[in-house]
Amino acid sequence: MSLLVGVDTGRRSASGLALAAQLATSLDTDLIVATVIASAWPPLRGNVDHEWREHNREAAKVVLDHAASVLGDHVQARYLVHEAASSRRGLLELAESEQPACLVLGSAGRGEHGRIALGGVSEALLRASSVPVAIAPVGYRGRLASRITRLTAAYGGSAAARDLVLGAAPVAARAGGSLRLASFAVRPDSEIGILSRAGGAAEDPVLSEWASRIRTHASEILDEIEDLAARPALEEVAIGIGESWAAAIDDIGWRDGDLLMVGSSGLGPIARVFLGSHGMKIVRNAEVPVIVVPQGVSWPL
């Protein structure tokens, strides 16, 4: 089993490399570090085509050399250059040929520090990848030799969410970390103010009923996990409430070594990573690395 991390010839990809190294260390696996260079189309003439290709390959060598210097001896890695019409297409082709357990990316260059920022390539991959996609927040600098110490599975009460949690349990156990289930609720500003003054969620009947149902269903799943051969330490179910998705996600508290797992929506019989509206909002507002798992896919593969 390997993890595939994509690095960009246009910029340094330290955050994605840091997350990839953490995952590889936690899961005791190796890395494939890949960069995609554009193929000229239509083919250019004579020396122009040769110079174009040489320029691309030199840029690829620079970014792979940087990746090797960042990773050092912390994790076993293989480095490769792939030529394709686009970065998206190239990474999908590599995912098909290399069959990695996960595709790892950094956030887009421009975004709020400490949050996930999706760019054109990462958004396209979330809609087309048949393997899980992990994304590091902007500026993420996890220590290369560190491990994932807690896995939080986003749980919304559906059958697919249950499968996600049951799949997350052996991952957390393999990493030697704990498992936490979390659900999030977003309320308008005015209602948040009322809740705060009146004693919180318990004073809101709708919110209270929702939280009660989530905890009841989650407790049943946790009982199933207790019977697994490989089971992690289990933490209490976390309920995040806020006036925005960012506030609701922040509400449950995070620490170094955390990883958030989110399930995708289903697209019929073919497994693809495709986030529904809530899933996409959770990803965009996460302050820790996120792995998005296609519905019906067991992870690690």
Report pLDDT digits (tens) over 146-190.
Answer: 899 999 999 988 888 888 899 999 999 999 999 999 999 887 654
Q: What is the mean pLDDT of residues 18-44?
A: 87
Beta bridge partners of 85: none
CA distances from 11 to 48, 106, 184, 253, 281 (A): 24, 11, 34, 31, 26
Quick one: what percent of the chain has pLDDT higher than 90?
51
pLDDT in tens, 187-201: 765 444 434 433 445
* Whole-structure pTM value: 0.87
If you average pLDDT over every residue of the chain, what do you get?
84
- Residue 130's pLDDT is 87
Domains and CATH numbers, the chain: 2-135 (3.40.50.620), 150-254 (3.40.50)
Burial readout 241-272 (b: 16 or more C-beta within 10 A, e: otherwise): bbbebbbbbeebeeeebbbbbbbbbeeeeebb
pLDDT in tens, 268-296: 333 344 445 678 889 989 999 999 998 77
- Residue 12's pLDDT is 67
- Residue 47's pLDDT is 65
Among 178, 184, 186, 177, smallest CA distance to 157 is for 184
